[in-house]
Amino acid sequence: MSKELNAKNNIIQSIICHAREHCAEDIDKAYEYFWDRNHPDEFLSGTALELGFINFEDWLVFDYKVNEARETLMDLHVRDNRCQVEEELEVIKKTRDSLMSLYEVVSVSKDKRVLLKDLLLGGEFDLKDKALTRGLKKGDIFATRLLNLDGKYVMSGCVYPYKASLKKKVMAHIDKEFGKYIKNANPNGTMKDFLKEYGDVFNIFWMNLILSGLKKED
């Protein structure tokens, strides 16, 4: 495993373990907020449920504000000097401002390298990790957090898969929520500001798609 990616994984596990031991109430509040007071095990199962927990922990570490100073668990990890080695501090500096965005697969090469287009912020990104890109095909859309580690872009582990046919619907939902953010919270805010503050918007949409599908089956 690459050096920085390995350090990132160690940091995430350290932060989660510390939070479970010292910030249980904060985790409970975050969990309730993230799932909009729903219980994921009531409408998710198997791989989807496992993915849901991975997505929650990713958001909890990178985006959730744990206090009035609007610090994240990653901020507290640095503030409390819990980085075990200098390399971990450098990785945190490179990843703490990362954010979720919506991506479309532009192309997939024969060696499984995937070119992604950021549908919300612009730009294209080349993913070379075959383990993370296996199964992707042109036209697929999903939300994830891209990190630049070891000189290449990788996904943090968090992913929200959406049907390609829902591309316009997903983007319309994001635009609507961004409009509310501009109107009610930050008149001068950018889409980048919004995604950093409300990365959970992708989970709410993903969750509601699943819930609405279950209701149709009833």
- Total tally of structural domains belonging to the chain: 1
Position 218 scores a pLDDT of 46
Give the strand pairing for 152-162 and 141-149.
antiparallel
Instruction: Answer whether residue 1 shows pLDDT above 70.
Output: no
- Give 52-78 pLDDT, tens digit per residue: 999 999 999 999 999 889 999 999 999
Q: Cite the DSSP H helix spans in the chain.
A: 3-22, 24-34, 46-62, 73-79, 86-95, 130-133, 167-184, 191-197, 201-217
- Give 188-216 pLDDT, tens digit per residue: 999 999 999 999 999 999 999 998 875 56
Q: With respect to residue 35, please indicate whether it lies within any of the assigned structural domains.
A: yes
Q: With respect to residue 47, please indicate whether it lies within any of the assigned structural domains.
A: yes
Provide the whole-model pTM: 0.92
d(CA 71, CA 52): 23
- Give 24-57 pLDDT, tens digit per residue: 998 999 999 999 999 999 999 999 999 999 999 9
Q: With respect to residue 159, please indicate whether it lies within any of the assigned structural domains.
A: no
* Domain span holding position 10: 3-95
Cβ distance 69 to 77 under 8 Å? no
Q: With respect to residue 24, please indicate whether it lies within any of the assigned structural domains.
A: yes
- Give 154-191 pLDDT, tens digit per residue: 999 899 999 999 999 999 999 999 999 999 999 999 99
Q: With respect to residue 163, please indicate whether it lies within any of the assigned structural domains.
A: no
Could you give the 3-state DSSP secondary structure of residue 181?
helix
Q: With respect to residue 125, please indicate whether it lies within any of the assigned structural domains.
A: no
Q: With respect to residue 129, please indicate whether it lies within any of the assigned structural domains.
A: no
- Give 127-142 pLDDT, tens digit per residue: 877 666 677 889 999 9
Q: With respect to residue 131, please indicate whether it lies within any of the assigned structural domains.
A: no
Q: How many CA atoms lie within 13 A of 139 on its CB side?
A: 4
- Give 82-110 pLDDT, tens digit per residue: 887 888 899 999 999 999 999 999 998 87
